[in-house]
Structure 1
Amino acid sequence: MSRLQHPNIVRLYELIDDPRCDQQFLVMECVRGWTLQRPVARRESIPEEDLRHWLREVYLGLEHLHIHGVAHRDVKPDNILWDPEQRRAKLTDFGTAALLSHSRDAPVGGTL
């Protein structure tokens, strides 16, 4: 995940593995905004221009993942953050992501 640096992917800065308590901690980029589920839940009418912008941002993030052999496998509004300061949609929650084999695009090692 740390090698997947892209403006449309929430950045992972560090992974802390604490063997004393058998837990892992992710230090990630702080995105001050909301998920794209918020306007869905509120039944807001979103202007077409905004929707095109959001989808383009998601597409660019997914394209970057696929170029690097990663399948997100859980793309939904809850896993897309909107950063109003940068006007950028960012993919997050890679808990079900998988590495792909470029030869046949099949998962090769389970989840990331």
Structure 2
Amino acid sequence: VLIDRRYHNRELEMMKALDHECVIRLQHHFEKAGRKRDETYLHLVMDFLPETIRSASLAYQKQRSRLPVDHVRVYLYQTLKALDYIHSKNICHRDLKPDNLLVDPAQLRLKLIDFGCAKVLVA
């Protein structure tokens, strides 16, 4: 992500504060100079999960099959747990879509990602 020094990076601050099994974890972050003199890029190092819920679903479609209902239930439950957690922190994700749900089909694990559009709500 190209850093614009005029703006505070909300995603980094949110990622530092979040700690839940169904939300992607920030492992490390660092800045690196870009090619131009005044460019700086922020790199976020997070947990790895092999695919998105979209790609998992498409893999089943290619086999002329469907994502098993039991898997859908588990993934939906984990999605709702993630949303409940971030909402308890007054965070609105604002970009919930299949590409922002990483999954590990072998272990039936799901993690919510991409807090670039997220916003902390204040009362």
Checking the alignment, whether the CA contact within 8 Å between 1:10 and 1:91 is kept in structure 2 is yes
1:56 aligned partner? 77
1:107 aligned partner? none
Alignment of 1:41 with 2:58, yes or no, is: yes
Question: What is the RMSD of the two structures over their aligned residues, measured on CA atoms?
Answer: 1.8
Q: 1:83 to 1:39 in 2, by over 3 A?
A: closer
Could you list the runs of 4 or more consecutive aligned residues of structure 1 that deviate by over 4 angstroms after TM superposition? none
Q: Which has the larger radius of gyration?
A: 2
More helix by share: 2
Q: CA offsets, 1:53-98, max 9 Å, x none? A: 1100000011110001111111111110112354211001111111
**Secondary structure of the corresponding residue to residue 2 of structure 1:** helix
More strand by share: 1
**Secondary structure of the corresponding residue to residue 72 of structure 2:** helix
Which piece of structure 1 moves more, 14-23 or 87-96? 14-23
- TM-score, normalised to structure 1, is 0.78
* Percent identity between the two aligned chains: 33
**Pairs aligned (count):** 101
1:77 aligned partner? 98
Higher relative contact order (CA 8 A, sep 6+): 2
Q: What 5-or-longer segments of structure 1 have no aligned partner?
A: 104-112
